[in-house]
Structure 1
Amino acid sequence: MKQHTSYKVYFILPLLAFFVGCTPNANTYYNRQMQPIVTKYNVLFNGEEAFEIGKKALDEQYQDQFDEILPVEPIKNEW
């Protein structure tokens, strides 16, 4: 009988924590402190993902042009 009760506890506690933690109007100290941290790392993650997508697109589109002559301008010695 004791083991049956432990299964209920393992089921009910995470379920209760889920519903308490997901309330939309939770204005607790923990939520106020976690919001800036979550925002910071979401911005970093999304920035890195956008950078990788842009880099991949540039790598796919870029073609080397070895037949063009590079313009060279003479350097003036002003001594």
Structure 2
Amino acid sequence: MSLPTQTTHLYRHFLRLASTFPDYNVRSYALRSVQTRFREPAANPDVEAVKMEESRLRRMISVSGNYVPEEKNVMQNLSK
């Protein structure tokens, strides 16, 4: 695969991963951080940095899943 194709696949993968957060605020933060990191110019992407970013997102998902509030956020109630 070419580099732009790999980058697009990684971007979509990270967006899907970030959208799995149960809390609206954390999900919004994760989506914004993924978008910001992929907008930065990356002429030579570091494979280790990408793996660390994915593991960081997965850790955030597992930790935030333990602390889901009982009541929904106002924004979550509006989205339905």
Q: TM-score range by the shorter chain?
A: 0.3 to 0.5
TM-score using structure 2 length: 0.32
Larger Rg: 1
| Higher RCO (C-alpha 8 Å, min separation 6) | 2
Is the helix fraction higher in 1 or 2? 2
